[in-house]
Structure 1
């Protein structure tokens, strides 16, 4: 992986990475980056990205790879762009995805946190902590709450039972695991566009449940490999508040009603343990 700066075009990014020119094909790139296929590579660029945005993505990809998750290899990173390995597409393998995520979520870390990350284009502070509820509220929810300003819901969010969130132990999470960031490559399932940091696996489970897209075959396989306690399932609306705050900030008032439902679900959560369920 190399580090440079000053990229303004895909051609310049390839040149600065020490790569030959390739024909460029635009790809879907989400809400921040412009994305191109360039032969065996994928280029991600932005003319004026948030500071540290692409380096943070590269760190997340490398962290996930080090935990055994299939991700595109990082070839070159700089402030205005990222060069990744292109993964040829393959067939869906939901059970393989379940095995990969269960393996990721089973690997315990020492502390919650990490370096500064981005959820979409929104920066979230770095730092570490042992108290999960306090860390999640202060370093993840509160910055978004102050930026999104959800009106009367703000006080309700502040009063949610953050201190009572269940703790299974710190693990590396993808951090933005909706179905659009899952990719089935020829070699098997892969993950894209991480917002990776060390948290509770409930963060990933909550995003996976929020917008759907993960079939029953996935949940059966994941639950068989790494069963989820009932109290964790019941607490997922609390983590969904976090994701819905960023959607409210980026996409507007259409997310107020889903946010209110998540707040209500979190408020009603009692933290009682019981049998596991998919």
Structure 2
């Protein structure tokens, strides 16, 4: 679809020629003036509405995100956020504020990690919730490619994970889903759910991670207990299973390291 057609469908004025922006491995992203239009070839049903719900949930909890102007099965129209200077301490304040919030139960709506569908539901016991709503669907999807690591993953979640309490999470917090703006840091492309903050922290340590200045500020604001720190490789299994699913067996080495460190 031409991004201008989605703007017209939303009753918004399309000015100028669409400018391609980086959209990761899933979406085609364009800027038209004040708007960002996200499209994808043959997106799974519910992908863009789920992203819009996640952005709304983060905004309601005090996180800076782009405003959602329109969401449909065909695409998403967001506010364009201009680029600003890096502010890692500001990001630490925003995330510590998010992760300190407490909700009644662990909870997820049916949604996605990338384009991988994840079930919804809620629960009070963290390890069972995380395994059944996040690990198990990916484990089933990747089992035949894991070269015998599947039982090792299952065994990891036979012992309880540390639980500080149900907190709202971005759910896919790597550096590509962060944007620094003139008003401060903003988060993009959430896979929102209510879980344990270790899930977000684990993703922020993968693939180069966030710089030392961020971690120093975050630790000062909301110290990470030793048991949570030790559980981060176990949480990274979630994201590494997703990478095996999307990109293949080249991630089995990283998955093995995370399992061995858990």
Task: Tell whether 2:161 aligns with 1:168.
Answer: no
Q: Deviations over 1:213-272 (max 9, x none)?
A: 311111111001011100000001111000000000100111000000111111xxxxxx
Residue 54 of structure 1 corresponds to 48
Shift of 1:53: 0.2
Task: Tell whether 2:6 aligns with 1:13.
Answer: yes
Task: Tell whether 2:9 aligns with 1:32.
Answer: no
Residue 119 of structure 1 corresponds to 113
Shift of 1:107: 0.5
SS for the counterpart of 2:238 is helix
Residue 82 of structure 2 corresponds to 88
Shift of 1:163: 3.8
How many angstroms apart in 2 are the aligned matches of 1:177 and 1:205? 8
Shift of 1:190: 0.5
Residue 271 of structure 1 corresponds to none
Unaligned runs of at least 5 residues, structure 2: none
SS for the counterpart of 2:200 is helix
Residue 232 of structure 2 corresponds to 236
Q: CA RMSD in A?
A: 0.9
Matches within 5 A, 1:188-199: 188-199=184-195
Residue 141 of structure 2 corresponds to 147
Residue 245 of structure 2 corresponds to 249
How many angstroms apart in 2 are the aligned matches of 1:238 and 1:46? 31
Shift of 1:210: 1.3
Regions of 4+ moved over 4 Å: none
Shift of 1:179: 1.0
SS for the counterpart of 2:173 is coil
Residue 35 of structure 2 corresponds to 41
How many angstroms apart in 2 are the aligned matches of 1:162 and 1:202? 18
How many angstroms apart in 1 are the aligned matches of 2:18 and 2:157? 49
Q: Deviations over 1:47-101 (max 9, x none)?
A: 3111100000000000001111000000000001000000111000000000000
Shift of 1:162: 4.5
Superposition TM-score, scaled by structure 1 size: 0.91
Q: Deviations over 1:140-173 (max 9, x none)?
A: 0000001012130001111114541000000110
Answer yes or no: is the 8 Å Cα contact 1:47–1:80 preserved in 2. no
Superposition TM-score, scaled by structure 2 size: 0.97
Residue 274 of structure 1 corresponds to none
Unaligned runs of at least 5 residues, structure 1: 1-7, 267-278
Residue 276 of structure 1 corresponds to none
Q: Which region of structure 1 is more displaced relative to structure 2, 230-239 or 111-120?
A: 111-120
SS for the counterpart of 1:164 is coil
